[in-house]
Every structure is written in structure tokens, then in C-alpha cells.
Amino acid sequence: MFDFFDYMPIQASTWADRVDWMNNWITDVSTICTVAITAVMLYFAIRYRAGKHSAPSSKADHNLNLEIVWTVIPSIVCVYCFYIGFDVYKEMRTPPANATEIGVTGFKWGWNFTYENGKTSSKELVVPVGEPIKLVMKSSDVLHSFFIPSMRVKEDLRGDRYSYLWFTPTITSDEQPGGVFPIFCAEYCGVNHSGMRAGLKVVSRAEYNDFIQERGAIELSPLELGAKLYNEKACITCHSLDGSKVVGPTFKGLYGANREFTEGEPAVADENYLRTSILNAGKQIVSGYQNVMPAFEGQLNDKEIDALIAFIKAQKP
Ligand code: HEC
Ligand SMILES: [Cu+2]
């Protein structure tokens, strides 16, 4: 509406416009109401102060029309706020399938970023401009929250499951101080909480490719490590890659598929489902199979679990 207050950080993602519009709209409506109500209150307090101007005693006790008006109008305003908020929220919850995926791990007190080919970084998260970016996030200890003000996104990181964020950066970060958009932890997580700062570096696709290409020779990509573990941890003895049913279900086309169980509600095989299945297969038994898969809880570290998930995701239908 009027944009009375200009305090928001630079708009650098496709969300920014809509988030700011909503923020300004709510602030403007609240400001107008506060000013109007205060003005009327002051006017009445002075106009009808005790003394010779005292209000004559009145027989009016209520006014139905007035009450309907001041109930219906605020209700419409509230429902409208909810509606436009929900509209953006729905999109924010649904990352597009073609997004570039980057892993984020929060720990006391810092961040680790893992790119698709196994390259890692910690002080700077580097992303290509103009493309959707999906962050698959997890904490290795307490709750943290990943906050990039210029992208207008923030989401908690938990220790027991993955959470997601996605955004499309609209401008590169060249012009920013330090060449990066600031990243903060927004969940109080201990003494060095305020030290959990990093930078989001938004670059061209070509620069991004160069950046992820520079990596140590011995580092395996998550996919390569996943393939190695698939053999070494003997998943291969019970899970095929070609669609055939062995002791366990095939990994072919598993990611994103609907799963049915001997007990309980069906589920979609997303990252959280795969993680639970790998660590604790006995929790939900896939219909048509026996509960014979060993629990890998405690036998695989986070990096290995992420690698197996990447490997399963790569087995396209
Ligand atoms: C001894 C055989 C066996 C081994 C070894 C085994 N699994 Fe399984 N797995 C199964 C069976 C049987 C099921 C289906 C029953 C269930 O849900 O527990 C299953 C289910 C799964 C599921 C859920 C599949 C679906 O269709 O929803 C995943 C994911 C999985 N296993 C991953 C793995 C990984 C990764 C490994 C290796 C680290 C592994 N499994 C090792 C037998 C095995
Ligand atoms: Cu933190």
C-alpha cells in the first residue's frame, strides 16, 4: 500500500516482492487503525471531560448495525491476510522438481554446505542466479534456524529429520558488502549462536560450475559414496536397481513413490521416509515384505545416510 516504513533488506529473490507487500500491508492497516483509534479516543476524552461539557446521560446502550460493521470488516481483513499469506506459503512449501539441491548441516556453531558433486563449503553458500535452489537441511545437534533475510526465507533445522527451503535468487551478490548476502542462525542455540554467520554468494551459472568443479581429488560425490555403500553395506543383496523384487523392494523409482504398509497410513517416499527406513526399517513394514532388514541406526553417519539417499534418488523409474 503506502510503504510508510522502508526498513526491509534488499529484495533478492522471487519471494521478496510478495513477502514485503504483505508485510507492508499489515503494517499500514495496523498503523492507520492505531492512529485513527487514538485520535478518536483523545477527541472524546477532551470533548466530554468532566465539567460543564459533561455528556448528558444517554439511554442508548447498543447499536446493532454498528456492531455488525465492526465485526464484519475486521473479519474480512483477517481472512484476506490469511489468504494472501497462505497463497505464498503453499508455494514456499513446494520446491520445484528441477531445483538445484544443496545440503545444509547446522552444528554448534556453524554451517556446512554440500553440493551435488560432493564439494563442501562452510563460510559461503554459493548458488547460481535465476534458478530455483532447494536446500535440504539437518542439524547435527540442537535446533538451529537458517535465515537469509535478502531472500525472505527462514526455516528450522532439526536433528531427527530433514527440513526444506527453496528460493530463486534474482540478482547476483556482487554489489553487496563483502560480495555476499548475510546468513544468520535465527534460533537461540547456545553461547556462540550469534557467531553462526555465513554469506550467500549468488553468481552466474558459469561461475557456479567453476566453483563446484574445484574440489579435492579423493572426495567422492554423494552419489559415488552411495553406490559404494550400497555394495559394502550389502543393501545390494536385498534391493535391486532394475525393478525386480528380491528380499526387499527395488530401489528403482522408489523416490517420490507412494508406499503402503502392513499397518498404518500410506506415505510418500521422500528424504525423511528414506532416512527412517534405512535407520529403522522395522518401524514401517512395506506391504508384501517381511521384517528382515537390519536396523542401520548407529552404523551409518549422517554423510553416509545422505549418500545412500542420493543414490536411491538417482534410481529413476
Ligand atoms: C536382509 C535384507 C536387507 C538388507 C541387507 C537391506 N534391506 Fe532394506 N529392506 C529389506 C526389506 C525386506 C524391506 C521391506 C520391509 C520393510 O519395510 O522393513 C526393506 C525396506 C527398505 C526401504 C524402504 C523401501 C520401500 O520400498 O519403501 C529402504 C529405503 C531400504 N530398505 C534401504 C536399505 C538400505 C539403504 C540398505 C543398505 C544400507 C538396506 N536397505 C539393506 C531388506 C533388506
Ligand atoms: Cu544456531
Q: Does one domain contain both 132 and 173?
A: yes
Q: Does one domain contain both 78 and 139?
A: no
Q: Does one domain contain both 250 and 304?
A: yes
Range of the domain at 139: 100-213
177 occurs within a structural domain:
yes
3 occurs within a structural domain:
no
Q: Rounded CA gap, 291 and 300, in Å? A: 20
Q: Does one domain contain both 112 and 68?
A: no
Cβ-in-10-Å burial (0-12, 13-18, 19+) of 64 comes to exposed
Q: Which ligand is nearest to the CA of 300?
A: 1
Q: Cα(302) to centroid of ligand 1, in Å? A: 18
Q: Does one domain contain both 80 and 114?
A: no
Q: What are phi and psi of 107, to 5 degrees?
A: -145, 165
Question: What pLDDT is stored for residue 190 in this prediction?
Answer: 87
What are the pLDDT digits (tens) for 79-109? 998 998 999 999 999 999 899 999 999 988 8
73 occurs within a structural domain:
yes
Domain endpoint, select from 92, 118, 135? 92
CATH number (domain holding residue 138): 2.60.40.420
Q: Does one domain contain both 189 and 106?
A: yes
139 occurs within a structural domain:
yes
4 occurs within a structural domain:
no
Q: Rounded CA gap, 249 and 239, in Å? A: 6
254 occurs within a structural domain:
yes
Domain endpoint, select from 213, 232, 266? 213
Question: What pLDDT is stored for residue 310 in this prediction?
Answer: 93
Cell of 313: 534418488
Ligand 1: which of 225, 232, 236, 239 to mutate, most ligand atoms within 8 Å of CB? Answer: 239
Q: How much is the mean pLDDT over the chain?
A: 89
What single letter denotes the amino acid at residue 164?
A: Y
Q: Which atom of ligand 1 is nearest to the CA of 261?
A: 17
Q: What are phi and psi of 118, to 5 degrees?
A: 100, -10
Question: What pLDDT is stored for residue 56 in this prediction?
Answer: 64
Q: Rounded CA gap, 203 and 172, in Å? A: 5
Q: Cα(193) to centroid of ligand 2, in Å? A: 5
Domain endpoint, select from 62, 92, 122? 92
What's the structural domain count of the chain?
3
What single letter denotes the amino acid at residue 192?
A: N
Of 261, 294, 256, nearest to 272 by C-alpha is: 256
In this structure, the residue with its CA closest to atom 37 of ligand 1 is 235
Mean pLDDT per 10-residue segment, the chain (317 residues): 68 92 88 94 87 65 87 92 91 92 90 87 92 94 94 94 94 90 94 90 94 75 88 84 91 94 91 92 89 82 89 92
Query: Which residues does ligand 1 sit against, CB inside 6 Å?
Result: 233-235, 237-239, 247-249, 254, 259, 269, 274, 277-278, 281-282, 284-286, 289-294, 296, 308
What are the pLDDT digits (tens) for 222-265? 888 899 889 887 788 789 999 998 889 999 999 999 999 998 89
Question: What pLDDT is stored for residue 1 in this prediction?
Answer: 47
Cell of 198: 555465513
What single letter denotes the amino acid at residue 87?
A: D
Q: Does one domain contain both 191 and 253?
A: no
Q: Does one domain contain both 123 and 49?
A: no
What single letter denotes the amino acid at residue 142?
A: V
Cell of 11: 529484495
Q: What are phi and psi of 106, to 5 degrees?
A: -100, 140
159 occurs within a structural domain:
yes
Q: Does one domain contain both 88 and 104?
A: no
Ligand 1: which of 231, 235, 271 to mutate, most ligand atoms within 8 Å of CB? Answer: 235
1 occurs within a structural domain:
no
Q: Rounded CA gap, 312 and 293, in Å? A: 16
Q: Which ligand is nearest to the CA of 247?
A: 1
Q: Which ligand is nearest to the CA of 254?
A: 1
Q: Does one domain contain both 53 and 120?
A: no
Q: Does one domain contain both 153 and 85?
A: no
